[in-house]
Structure 1
Amino acid sequence: MGDVILAPFSSIGMINASNLRWLVKCAFAAASALLLCAAAKPWLPRVQAPPTTVRDASLFALNRYLSEPNPDVVLLGSSLTARIKEQYFATLRVTNLGILGGSPLTGLRIILLTPQSPPKTILIETNLLSNVADETLVENFATQGHDFFFRPVRMAHAAYENWNHAPVNRVRSMADADRVLKEAPQEYDNQVYLDRLTKAYGQDASVLLQKNVDQLAKLVSSARGLGARVLLFELPYPDQLDQTRVALDTRRIALSRFGDPHEWLHLTIAKSELRWPDGAHFDERSAVLAARAIEQAIGEPSEAPTLRNIPARVHP
């Protein structure tokens, strides 16, 4: 049998001690990195992770709202409001927090939960008040919902995405909007969509509407208590949807809680100029017209709303 050479116990001990020192160094480096990220977090811009779905595109506007100076006006609402792009406004600095498939409750709760003071003017679309707040977005953007640690790779990715989706050049966008207004209204074959929406809008959503309007009233009161001017507005519907059950119930319930005419923004829009390609949402030209109507209405005195057409004076 060959000789068996055993390593001295002292050599094994030296190897184990060396490994232990490296382990301690690695643990110390990891702990230091975590502490550094935690310490840096409060001083860094509050940027959420980049969006991964179409609906999450609202993250870009929410990120800008949290990281930039307060705009003149914040728009809250559903995808109907989201179509009125910020660059369509000629004289106002606007942040549009309209959320695809969402509710104005989401944006208003985020505004009230963030530490910065609310914007001077908050405009709330009332067309789709049957949608509930997006609790995930509220949690992510509320003060308590942010990560304790700074995540370098994630934040770099989010910062790049937000930079890549920054607002377009204002001068160029205004020129484009003016060009669109000079064009004749387009015609769309949207009857199939209108028929589907008419059926959907014929359902009874009064219980959910009442619950959401009650919550909205409390949030509006809180925002006004912080010095914000809060006005509600309704965007014009296509004629076929204007007198559906959901539209009528929404107006009735909204007026029951917001009966003061000075709480409403009254939009003057020639309805014959408006188009809804999918039966519900404005096309680009119509959205520009709505933006200009909002700008005009903000400085005008309010008039008493009616059940038939709360805030929008539409001309056939």
Structure 2
Amino acid sequence: MPSSISSFDKKRAAYDQYLVSFTKGRSDGRFGISLVVALGTMVSCWNALLATGAVPFSAPSLSQAEDNRTRVVEFMRSPESEIAITGTSLTYRLPTSAFNSSTKNVALAGGSSSSSATIGATVRPSILVIELNILDREPDTDLEELSRLIRNPPFGIPALATALSPTRAAIAAVYHLDEIFDERLQAERKSLPLLLDALPAEITQGADLDHAVEAWENRPSRSEVEEKSARAIVSAAEQVETNGGNAFYVLLPLDPRLAATEYASRGVEAAKAIDPEFQERLLSVQWAYDQIRWDPDGAHLDQRSAIVVARQISDAIDQRMRADISGPVGHQENQ
């Protein structure tokens, strides 16, 4: 009996020592190698699917931040277009189907116009349109970095893999999100002439507009952020022009009461102070105010007005390109 106890104690002591020292046996090494190989195979297969375009473009999102991330990924993955539209939620609603040339919209709802412009410039469009209405939002450096990683191989596919997880892709495939997106785009195109043939909505000015005007009048100055945004926007414009393209600034129309606030002019004043070519890049648009209506907040265009504004911007771009203006142009008609 004592000898058996002694043998047991020795085995237990050896095992305890193994646990303490974390000594690796041959089986441990084989398991670790197998685990690494399995993970590597899964990642390789996923990246291969992404590279072939077999993964759905559309992905579900649960927040505005996720929606903007998905929007950037879709923008970077979609076919090249002549025009890239950038900005904030004011520009987000502009339908690309209303433009005369192939157009992509990477405006970020609730986001930074400068980050949107930076992302738009990465795809080297022939024409980059940059909204200047709101420049007091901090840049989203994570989204900017994501766009650069997607654009520049060999890091593009892994960056895309983190943005479009297998779970999101599976949900998109099961619920046919790509098909739903395409159907909505087709319906949007078919509805354009019907909406334009309809009369503009009734003009209403309620409590929501009063609150919006008060908020804009009392919004604190963020001159440092506005200056930083303006510099980033100028950099994006210069990047496109260096590659042989054209960059245009645009001030979207606002309800007259909002347009009269000091906050409404901060963005354009910041850009004007930074960019010596501001007047040349500013797109001249004579807004059809009798056809334009806004949501109750007085800032965001309603569906019909978004079409009207998109077409006016498109026509103004065509006019500029036909004129082949080389010197300063007339100032855009402000709000």
Residues 171-203 of structure 1 deviation map (CA, whole Å, 9 limit, x = unaligned): 542220111111111125443222222223224
Q: Is the 8 A contact 2:112 2:140 kept in 1?
A: yes
Which of these residues, 128, 134, 138, is aligned with residue 132 of structure 1?
Answer: 138
1:34 aligns with 2:39: yes
Which of these residues, 152, 157, 166, is aligned with residue 181 of structure 2?
Answer: 166
Residues 267-313 of structure 1 deviation map (CA, whole Å, 9 limit, x = unaligned): 2321021111222100001001011112211111367344xxx356x
**Which residue number corresponds to residue 291 of structure 1?**
310
1:229 aligns with 2:246: yes
Which deviates more from structure 2 when the two are superposed, residues 161-170 or residues 145-154?
A: 145-154
TM-score when normalising by structure 2: 0.74
Which of these residues, 127, 135, 146, is aligned with residue 121 of structure 1?
Answer: 127
Distance in 1, matches of 2:184 and 2:132, equals 30
**Which residue number corresponds to residue 193 of structure 1?**
208
Q: Is the 8 A contact 1:50 1:59 kept in 2?
A: no
1:65 aligns with 2:81: no
Distance in 2, matches of 1:128 and 1:103, equals 8
The CA RMSD measured in Å over matched residues stands at 3.9
Which of these residues, 226, 251, 254, is aligned with residue 271 of structure 2?
Answer: 254
Which deviates more from structure 2 when the two are superposed, residues 217-226 or residues 20-29?
A: 20-29
Q: After superposition, where does 1:202-281 map in structure 2 within 5 Å?
A: 202=217, 203=219, 204-256=221-273, 257=275, 259-277=277-295, 278-281=297-300
Deviation at 1:149, TM superposition (A): 10
Change (3 A) 1:97 1:149: closer
Deviation at 1:262, TM superposition (A): 2.9
Q: Is the 8 A contact 1:82 1:99 kept in 2?
A: yes
**Which residue number corresponds to residue 7 of structure 1?**
none
Deviation at 1:216, TM superposition (A): 1.9
Residues 192-238 of structure 1 deviation map (CA, whole Å, 9 limit, x = unaligned): 22222222322434443223212322232223223332111111111
Distance in 2, matches of 1:75 and 1:285, equals 18
Q: Is the 8 A contact 1:78 1:98 kept in 2?
A: yes
Distance in 2, matches of 1:90 and 1:111, equals 17
Q: Secondary structure at the match of 2:299?
A: coil
Deviation at 1:101, TM superposition (A): 0.9
Q: Secondary structure at the match of 1:109?
A: helix
Which of these residues, 165, 176, 183, is aligned with residue 154 of structure 1?
Answer: 165
Change (3 A) 1:149 1:228: closer
Deviation at 1:25, TM superposition (A): 5.2
Q: Is the 8 A contact 1:37 1:151 kept in 2?
A: no
1:106 aligns with 2:112: no
Residues 11-37 of structure 1 deviation map (CA, whole Å, 9 limit, x = unaligned): xxxxxxxxx777555433321122234
Which of these residues, 321, 325, 329, is aligned with residue 304 of structure 1?
Answer: 329
Distance in 1, matches of 2:99 and 2:184, equals 12
Change (3 A) 1:53 1:25: same
Letter in 2 for 1:29: S
Q: Is the 8 A contact 2:71 2:106 kept in 1?
A: yes
Distance in 2, matches of 1:305 and 1:149, equals 42
Change (3 A) 1:111 1:293: closer
More helix by share: 2
Aligned length: 299
Which deviates more from structure 2 when the two are superposed, residues 179-188 or residues 23-32?
A: 23-32
Change (3 A) 1:237 1:266: same
Change (3 A) 1:158 1:311: farther
**Which residue number corresponds to residue 17 of structure 2?**
none
Structure 2 residue runs without a partner (length 5+): 5-24, 150-154
